[in-house]
Amino acid sequence: MKKATTLASIVALSLVVGACANTANDTKDTTPKSETSANKNKEATDMIKKVDGVAIEIIEAIKLDKAKKTDETILKIHFKGKNNGADSQPLDAMLLSVKNKQGQVLAVYPSTSLGTSLKSSEEAEGDAFFVLKGDTPLTLIYENPDTKSKATWTIKTIKDAS
């Protein structure tokens, strides 16, 4: 009886070790997944730009429902920044400007927008609001008026709020 139990244990252990050691790839083609993740990483990297030591990331652009008082379509730009420099730096929605496909600068919509000064290693996240007119792609420009340093992003698609 002891020999049968030992033999059964050895067979079971061999099956477990053999199954774990199988390095065969069960998927047929992993290239599209790799390319897709590489494209996503490239898109994410393209949305992060540095201005005077502040890494600014445009997270999303959303088209909000029309404003009740003015009947205008509102564009909400959600962005965040991190100060990687030693000195305090501004992170302010008022330093953002947006141009439509026709080259027109979109008007700032009066709303509660992000505006702060980031100390070294500090992060902040918030929104900027604009009156949406014209077509995409949109060009976002963040410019520090003190140093004239700027970064530019291209927004090809705008999400609907719903």
Query: Rg of the chain over CA atoms, in angstroms?
Result: 26
As a whole number of angstroms, the distance between CA 115 and CA 28 comes to: 50
CA nearest neighbour of 131 among 91, 102, 159, 104: 104
Structural domains present in the chain: 50-160 (2.60.40.1240)
Question: pLDDT, tens digit, for every residue of 61-99?
Answer: 999 977 666 678 999 999 999 999 999 999 999 999 999
Question: pLDDT, tens digit, for every residue of 93-130?
Answer: 999 999 999 999 999 999 889 999 999 999 999 999 99
pLDDT of residue 47: 82
- pTM for this one? 0.69
- Name the percent of the chain in helix, strand, coil, to the closest 5: 25, 40, 40
